[in-house]
Amino acid sequence: MQLAVKPRARSGTETRQKQQRTTVRWNLGDYAELEARAGRAGLSIGTYIRSRCLDAPTTGARRRASVDALAMAKLLAVVSKTGANLYQLVRHLNFGGIPEDGEIRAILKEYKAMIAAIMAAMEGP
């Protein structure tokens, strides 16, 4: 009895559209300028270079999150973790005792306001 073996589906590096790599050395000033220009364009450095050097790049642009969005995302993660901890505290108190209703409600109200402010800041103007 023979088992049929299915060929593996291509994945990862086998499916990449870009097979060639170029290494370029930069002095600190030039690299800082390149990084700043790519950042202002909202592109990764490689995508920015392709967009400036080629008439019509054949691969899609890879957008880069702004520094502010990355910092806000980290902050949101911390605040969300705090909210999860608060939930656990409330749950624990509900099983073992009577929490002070006004204090818990005030904390939850502040937490919700903080999340709303962070989400509004991430959406931008």
This prediction has a pTM of 0.41
* Whole-number Å distance between alpha carbons of 29 and 94: 59
pLDDT above 90 covers a percentage of the chain that reads 8
Q: Is 63 helix (H, G, I), strand (E, B) or coil?
A: strand
pLDDT higher for 53 or 7?
Answer: 53
Closest CA to 84 of 72, 95, 92: 92
pLDDT of residue 24: 87
How many residues belong to the chain? 125
